[in-house]
Amino acid sequence: MNKTVRVRFAPSPTGALHVGGAHTALFNWLWARHNGGKFILRIEDTDRERSTQEYEDTIMAGMRWLGLDWDEGPVKGGDYGPYRQSERLDLYHKFAEQLVEEGKAYREGTAIIFKTPSGVPLAFDDVVYGRIEVMSDTLKDTVLIKSDGMPTYNYAVVIDDHCMGITHVIRGEDHISNTPKQLMIFDALGWEYPVFGHLPMILGKDKKKLSKRHGATSVYEFRDMGYMPDSVFNFLALLGWSAGDDKEVFSREEAVSLFELSRVIRRAAVFDMDKLDHINQEHLKLLDPMVRLELVEPFWREMGLPVDDHGREYLAQSLTCLEGRGKTAREAAAYSDYFVSFKPVKERYDGSDVDEEQKATLRRFNGELLNLTDWKAAAMEEFARSWSAENSVKMRDIAMPLRMALTGMKVSPGVFEVAGQLGREEAARRLRHFGFLD
């Protein structure tokens, strides 16, 4: 019988949840969910000076925002706790003492140091990188317990991975070089190795290490820029893995069912914000209008627009009118501000590009338009076509000023759709303001 898959994400609470950490967490989560296993959150807070409760909280909030729920961990609890290393010191001391007694480690003051055996091959088959083997002689003796009584990373990680029943260790490739040191400790304690799978490094488009220059680096920045959790999830999942058939846009459920650790690519993954834009735009299109509204609304509010002056249906429908314009919720909010208020329109447009003669024509056309029985885009458009033909006025010469007066933008969804959505009264008010209607 196969063992239940148990994986862990083991961040040190010394900073926010960055792209690399979120990526590691996500791949662990996917592997747990794909196998119906358990995803464990373990806080590696043995660096007492740099670890803070605030960072632990932000990491957890970032994971929640991405929808990476853990089955065991701080707050949640579980049978293998506690889940903070600072609360597991007894355990680290117990095994270190045992190693000293067995002559496999020695004391140096209050510190305990592991004696590297000589001539021992240390090998593992990495699911992603293949077989990796080093001779123990290349490794120095390893500190297990520091003089302040705290365990080192390479030691505590072994104790915890074993005692928490971890079956797969999935983490960044920067830990490959640590793995042989950890294998020695597994061996010394007579414990079986978990399966190791190291994830490729994430680089910017310029092939340099990921930094601020490449766009968002902490998970919260994505949120503040108006990206949806589902798209950030989708985007991170594509770093070093593919769902097959060049499929780029997928749901969480699809990712869970398709994910395979053995299909992780070892080549460094490139972090490309343009791709995130594309993915986010596709996810936005798929949303239920009311859910989309909830995402866009905070950005309208941030822009100072009177959201509460309108009904929910009207606002949701206004966003539907955008027909997928806007790569982020923030952009969608900016592209649709005129549905929420006339103010931004007046700030962008003053009507001075239209001379008196044109205005007279517009007043004639708009006067008749406003009298249509049916205030629907299709009817308006049909009327505009026949009116422009009968009066030998180009369609664009009536449609463009109409668009400018209603939206203040040169590019917008179909102008009659916009007029239909704004409603007859509001459209009339705006046209009158610019002298395009009597």
Q: Segment 311-340, which members bind ligand GLU (CB under 6 A)?
A: none
Q: Which residues form the catalytic set?
A: 212
CB 7 within 8 A of CB 167: yes
Nearer to ligand GLU (CB atom), residue 84 or residue 325: 84
CB within 8 A of 13, min separation 6: which ones? 43, 44, 45, 51, 52, 53, 55, 56, 59
Closest CA to 322 of 337, 344, 303: 337
Instruction: Say whether residue 215 binds ligand GLU (CB under 6 A).
Output: no
Q: Segment 40-99, which members bind ligand GLU (CB under 6 A)?
A: 44
Nearer to ligand GLU (CB atom), residue 159 or residue 404: 159
Range in contact with ligand GLU (rule: CB under 6 A) among 10-18, 55-63, 300-308, 320-328: 10-18
Q: Segment 107-166, which members bind ligand GLU (CB under 6 A)?
A: 157
Main-chain phi, psi angles of 277, to 5 degrees:
-55, -50
Helix 229-237 and helix 19-34: axis angle, to 10°? 80
Instruction: Say whether residue 277 binds ligand GLU (CB under 6 A).
Output: no
**Contact with ligand GLU (CB under 6 A) among 5, 7, 12, 380:** 12
Closest CA to 427 of 390, 389, 377: 377
Please give the Cα distance from 140 to 379 (Å, whole number). 82
Range in contact with ligand GLU (rule: CB under 6 A) among 7-15, 114-122, 280-288, 385-393: 7-15
Please give the Cα distance from 417 to 323 (Å, whole number). 11
Please give the Cα distance from 6 to 71 (Å, whole number). 10
Instruction: Say whether residue 413 binds ligand GLU (CB under 6 A).
Output: no
**Contact with ligand GLU (CB under 6 A) among 93, 115, 146, 175:** 175
Closest CA to 144 of 175, 114, 188, 100: 114
Please, which residues bridge with residue 199 across strands? Answer: 172
Nearer to ligand GLU (CB atom), residue 99 or residue 158: 158
Residues binding ligand GLU: number (CB under 6 A): 7
**Contact with ligand GLU (CB under 6 A) among 5, 6, 7, 11:** 11
CB 369 within 8 A of CB 431: no
Nearer to ligand GLU (CB atom), residue 151 or residue 401: 151
Instruction: Say whether residue 171 binds ligand GLU (CB under 6 A).
Output: yes
Instruction: Say whether residue 10 binds ligand GLU (CB under 6 A).
Output: yes
Where on the chain is the footprint of ligand GLU (CB under 6 A)? 10-12, 44, 157, 171, 175
